[in-house]
Amino acid sequence: MSETGAAQLADSPWGGGEKLPFDIGWQKLMMWIFVITDALLFAGLLVGYGFVRAASPAWPDQNIPFDMNFITFMTFTLIASSFAMACAVAAAHQGNKKHASMFLWLTIVGGFIFLGSQVYEWSHFIHEGARLTSNPWGVANFSASFFVITGFHGMHVTTGVIILLCVAIRLKMGKATAMGIENAGLYWHFVDLVWVFVFALFYLV
């Protein structure tokens, strides 16, 4: 084991030195691992929600307080923004600054539409009488889970939009790299993917 494999080492991506095992730099690797960690944080919150829901003898019908068409529109906006983000990353890698910038701003607009919709949805929900500790539909933890989970996700979207704004401005100043745009994109896709889970587990199930 001690001295063998000098020749094999030259081929192995795990051989150390300049080689990168997953063929990505530390920035991207770190973002991937962070995304996994953050996803588990959402998993914890969703498990908590599932736990209180399973323990509850009844659960309100989501169609009564929420307009499902509107939620579907929100989901569509967010997924469309993810598509724009992917286009921005591809353009950045091709060195097409103009297209990258355009798609980046489209993504940001998508993010803002989603956040605006969320503000509308929250105020509508609160207007109907939902509070953190109580709501007109019976189970108190229904509205509590809603505010905690969508609020936490909304915070992530807000962070994502801020990051994208920084990247877009840096791109305009000529400082942004394709790698930076890709990392911001990774985070943005993650935020969108989490929403798909929130949508499925909170609104649909």
Partner 1 sequence: MSDGHDDHGHGKQSFISKYVFSFDHKMIGKQYLSLVMFMAVIGGALAMLVRLQLGYPGMHSEFWAKLFPTGMASGVMTPEFYVMLFTMHGTIMVFFVLSLGPVSGFGNYLIPLQIGARDMAFPFLNMMSFWTALPGAIIILISFLVEGGAAASGWTAYPPLSAIRSAIPGSALGQTLWLVGMIFFVASFTMGGLNFVVTIINMRAKGLTMMRLPLTTWAQFIVGILGLLSFPALAAGAILLTFDRSMGTSFFLPHGMFIGDTLLPNSGGSPLLWQHLFWFLGHPEVYIIMLPALGFTSDILSTFTRRPIFGYRSMVYAMCAIGFLSFIVWGHHMFISGMSPFLGTMFTMTTLCIAVPSAVKTFNWLATLWKAKIRFTTPMLFALGIVSLFVTGGLTGIFLGTNAVDIQLHDTYFVVAHFHFIMAGAGLFGMFAAIYYWYPKMFGRHMNESLAKIHFWFTFTTYYGVFFPMHYLGIAGMMRRIYDPNTYDYLKPLQPVNTFITICAFILGASQIIILVNYFWSMFMGKKVESENPWEANTLEWSLPIEPGHGNWPGEIPEVHRWPYDYQHPDAEGDFIPQWVPPKKAVTK
Residues in region 147-176 near partner 1 by CB under 8 A: 148, 152
Residues in region 74-133 near partner 1 by CB under 8 A: 132-133
User: Which residue stretch of 35-43, 63-71, 98-106, 162-170 sits at the interface with partner 1 (rule: CB under 8 A)?
Assistant: 35-43
Count of CB atoms within 10 A of residue 98's CB? 8
Q: Which is nearer to partner 1, 94 or 159 (CB)?
A: 159
User: Which residue stretch of 114-122, 139-147, 178-186, 192-200 sits at the interface with partner 1 (rule: CB under 8 A)?
Assistant: 139-147
CA distances from 152 to 35, 86, 175 (A): 15, 24, 31
Q: Identify how many contiguous H helices and E strands the chain contains and give both numbers.
A: 6, 0
User: Which residue stretch of 36-44, 70-78, 89-97, 171-179 sits at the interface with partner 1 (rule: CB under 8 A)?
Assistant: 36-44
Burial class (CB in 10 A: 0-12, 13-18, 19+), 78: buried
CA distances from 103 to 86, 113, 126 (A): 9, 15, 34
Residue closest to 66 by CA, chosen among 75, 78, 58? 75
Among 80, 140, 163, 178, binds partner 1 (CB under 8 A): 140
Among 56, 62, 117, 158, binds partner 1 (CB under 8 A): 56
Residues in region 13-32 near partner 1 by CB under 8 A: 14-18, 20-22, 25-27, 29-30
DSSP state of 138: S
Terminal Cα-to-Cα distance of the chain (whole angstroms):
54
Minimum distance from residue 162 beta carbon to partner 1 (Å): 18
Q: Which is nearer to partner 1, 81 or 143 (CB)?
A: 143
Minimum distance from residue 159 beta carbon to partner 1 (Å): 14
Q: Which is nearer to partner 1, 56 or 117 (CB)?
A: 56
157 touches 191 (CB < 8 A): yes
Count of CB atoms within 10 A of residue 141's CB? 18
Q: In the complex, which residues of this chain contact partner 1 (CB under 8 A)?
A: 1-3, 6, 9, 12, 14-18, 20-22, 25-27, 29-30, 33-34, 36-38, 40-45, 47-48, 51-52, 55-56, 132-133, 139-141, 144, 148, 152
